[in-house]
Amino acid sequence: MKSYIKVIASMLIWGTLPVFVSKIPQSSSEIVMWRIIFGILFLLVVQGLSKNKSPLNDWKAPAPKMILSGFFMGTNWVALFEAYRYVGPSIATLIYYLAPIIVMIASFIIFKEKLGPVKIAGTASALIGMFIVTGIGSGGDSPIKGLLLAFTAATCYACVTLFNKGVKGLSGVERTLLQLLGAGLIMIPYAIITHQGPWLDFTSEAGIFAVLIGVLHSGFALFLYFSSIQELPAQSVALCSYIDPASALFFSAVLLGDALGPVQLIGAIMMLGGAAAGEIFGNRPIKRC
């Protein structure tokens, strides 16, 4: 139960991200750059204060895999931002949330996790709900290129989850720190190269929100997410991922005043209901006559 609470809490925290981002008038890539930098600084402080540090020798084996996982995480963000440009946010987001399905299929093959009909139905319900919420308009200048980029982002997101399942020997803080460092290797240069206009003023309200995103949404939420992956089946983590976009709808409606019509509400219920049903009933043994 503790692990479920951690992964659900991380999704709910990420669901508030649109509210925080709306306060920062900078490009997405620059926001993510600061998110990574302040997330790393926060975790370095936590690691420095921690009394349960892993010996440096224990870092040698998992560190390359964790940094590579972080590189996938950074690539995921870059590919998704680029997909928005070429195909539009709605369809790019829909393709992006194929990632849980990739995780479920891969976990069945790699980790031999059971993939029953209830989990398949729950995932299908969540994906249909995502389709309802995002709509079917593609937009953008190059839909094919955008779709490929969005699918690349989804695949990278799935790789991050799968990589974490195979790594042992590091605490949640250490694991998150290494992956943020890996993400920074691709995301920070990308943000600097694509930067336009003035840099963010950290004495302003926007600067404070950027720091909060780094501490809360990167440092703390990623710690909850990565530490829960070690303790839950990959398929459970995949299903819970649909809590993020569903909760984002509610937080945006309540805190930003965004319209949440009946159709979007139905889609959100299907996402949450599918995730909950797939996880609650999908793990129960099937009774045979």
Who has greater pLDDT, 217 or 139?
A: 217
Each residue's pLDDT tens digit, 94-111: 888 889 889 988 888 888
**pLDDT of res. 32:** 92
Taking residues 111-125, report their average pLDDT. Answer: 82
pLDDT above 70: residue 138: no
Q: What angle do CA 236, 239, 242 make, to 5 degrees?
A: 145
Each residue's pLDDT tens digit, 43-79: 999 998 887 777 777 788 888 889 999 999 999 999 9
Local confidence band at 136 (pLDDT 50, 70, 90 cut-offs): low
Taking residues 193-207, report their average pLDDT. Answer: 92
Given a contact cutoff of 8 angstroms between Cβ atoms, the answer to whether 175 and 167 are in contact is yes
Q: How many CB atoms lie within 10 A of CB 109?
A: 9
Taking residues 178-189, report their average pLDDT. Answer: 94
Who has greater pLDDT, 41 or 89?
A: 41
Local confidence band at 289 (pLDDT 50, 70, 90 cut-offs): very low
> Half-sphere exposure (CA, 13 Å, Cβ side) for 22?
13
Each residue's pLDDT tens digit, 147-170: 899 999 999 999 999 988 877 778
What is the reported pTM? 0.85
Each residue's pLDDT tens digit, 238-280: 889 989 988 888 888 888 787 777 887 888 888 888 888 877 7
**pLDDT of res. 73:** 94
Domain ranges of the chain: 2-46+60-280
* Average pLDDT across the chain, whole number: 86
**pLDDT of res. 285:** 46
pLDDT above 60: residue 286: no
Share of the chain above pLDDT 90, in %: 38
Each residue's pLDDT tens digit, 14-33: 999 989 998 999 988 999 99
**pLDDT of res. 282:** 61
